[in-house]
Chain A
Amino acid sequence: MRSWGRWRKRLVEALKHVVMGTITGLVFYPFVMLIVVSFKNTDQFMHNPWFVTFPLHFANYPAALELLVRYAANSVFVSGVSCLGTVFLAAFTAYVFARFEFVGRQFLFYLIISLMMVPGILGLVPMFMIVKRLGLLNTYWALILPYIAGGQVLGIFLLRTFFSAIPSDLFDSAEIDGAGDFRTFISVAMPLCKPMMATIAIISFHGTWNDLIWPLVVISDDKLKTITIGLLAFQSRFQSYGVAVTQYGPLFAGYVVAAIPLLALFLCASRYFVEGLTSGALKA
């Protein structure tokens, strides 16, 4: 009897792994296929699209990179500046709200937080008109400024809660030692909230890197396109070579290239991110 119970338990445990393994497999298969196809030439793709075929065509990558490097550089610049701007401004604003008493503090804070309830859809069309009137269409600023503005809201919310939990003695003692407001912020407050800032940085970078509709609306100059909309131009290029068949090899190599910066970012900071989420930064 007892050994049957043990076997049953093992069987159930194995079954869980089978189910989870299948799910993860299904999640990953398209990406595995993406990488497999990215090493094929057209002939290999036509005859055997699903499995690895030799020789591997590494040349697909330089070919794709050449066309994508400009878009990728644009995206790195736009997302990088937006991300840094968002994190610094949000941290400083949150610090001011958490540390100092002034008339209208609660009101101003709730005014900012109320923005979390307004989905972007109401503002899309007017925002386009504003950016157009400011003469920012087809500039990096048309992306960066709205990204910083929008990204701050969640950041201020999360960081203010964080700063409020820090005993104010810590900041007081810095000020008694003669540090000004900025100095206290930079030397005392910022080092304390590094994990939180990393989480906000990732959320911001990931969001702006993937943003699709806004760049499509404000950027039409090919030289300024971000990677998301650049990929569309890239794709149509491979379909309009006059060849009957799309060249999937270099095309998919390009898709892989587009994922590399995010991969790098996540490898650097995923520890904070997964911990932050699981330990309840977003707990309801």
Chain B
Amino acid sequence: MVDAASSTKADIVRGIRACRFYVYLLPTFVLLGVFCFYPPILGFLGSFYEWNGANVKIWNGLDNFAKMAHDKVLIASIGNLIKLATFTLITSITVPLLAAELIFNLRSLRAKYWYRVLLVAPMVVPGMVTLLLWQFIYDPNVGLLNAVLGVFNVPAQRWLNDPHLALYCLMFMAFPFVGGITVLIYLAGLNSIGQEVFDAAKIDGARFWQRFFRIDVPLVMGQIKLLLILSIIGVLKGYGAQLILTDGGPGYSTMVPGLHMYHQAFEFDHLGYACALGLALFLVIITLTYLSMKIRKPETE
């Protein structure tokens, strides 16, 4: 009897002691619950309402999604996004890979180190400063770009104020397209390829470009995939530059879906429609991410 009682007592004590783990996790889960799990759920539900954030919240089924098909601004913004995304994905994947190859193939270790540091260094400049600096570069009156072109007798352009040029201006703000972090990630990939692989290629008489396409590219495919996914997410949800520099204009020439959502929510109080736009963007991002993950792994491994 006594034994049985004390063992149940011990069980209870042990049970209570095991509960402490959930208490430890409580702060994390409260924060995550309120700010990470609840918003997407609310956003999903909000997509099916006409909602102005104050007195109106009416269930309207799929009306918000039907509205998208006739939303001229949205349609224009999708066209812009496709152009922007294509350009950004191609440049942000290929140019840093070439830069990483150059650094990787340098002989001087010290030079390798310094190029690496120098390429990452611009990270200390806040993104906002970079944006405002580009605003100055594109300034039609005193800007750097018009001044440089003036030397070659090219007439001054209006850049961000020109509906035909504005979108291209936004694309070229990443010039010269060598993201420091991207280069580092590629270098990590190249460094993890064994020296014996390169030696073997050399003995077989492979030229640089043969080695590049047959060995380096397949073996850094993991990095390429990761960067592809990160770039897709970044470019599809990004609208900071548009918000600060052009507000989608002139006209709708630089409008993107993210900015459209922002306007609908915070300028027109169309919260339901904004949620629906967010949900649509989310679905596109998830689908593209999934497809990029499906890219076949090289068989060399």
Contacts and interface: CB of A to CB of B under 8 A. Distances in A.
Decide whether A and B assemble into one complex: yes
Interface stretch (B83-91, B176-184, B193-201): B176-184
A126 B126 CA distance: 27
Given A17-B111, A130-B42, A278 B240 contact: no
18 contacts: A13-B107, A30-B134, A49-B142, A117-B286, A119-B233, A121-B258, A122-B44, A128-B266, A130-B38, A132-B53, A149-B31, A149-B34, A213-B239, A258-B128, A259-B124, A283-B188, A283-B192, A284-B225
Given A108-B25, A125-B261, A129-B53, A28 B222 contact: no
A229 B142 CA distance: 24
Nearest to B223: A284
A198 interface: no
Majority SS at the chain A contact face: helix
Interface in A201-248: 206, 209-210, 212-213, 216-217, 227-229, 231-232, 235, 245-246, 248
B279 interface: yes
A127 B278 CA distance: 12
B154 interface: no
B59 interface: no
Interface in A235-284: 235, 245-246, 248, 255, 258-259, 262-263, 265-266, 270, 274, 277-280, 282-284
Interface residues of A, number: 82
B282 A213 contact: no
A262 B124 contact: yes
A34 B128 CA distance: 13
B99 interface: yes
Interface of B: 18, 20-22, 24-25, 27-29, 31-32, 34-40, 42-44, 46, 53, 99, 102-103, 105-107, 111, 115-130, 132-134, 136-137, 142, 144, 147, 175-176, 178, 181, 184-185, 187-189, 191-192, 222-223, 225-226, 233, 236-237, 239-240, 243-244, 258, 261-262, 265-266, 271, 274-275, 278-279, 281-282, 285-286, 289
A120 to B, nearest CB: 7
Nearest to B141: A245
Nearest to B112: A20
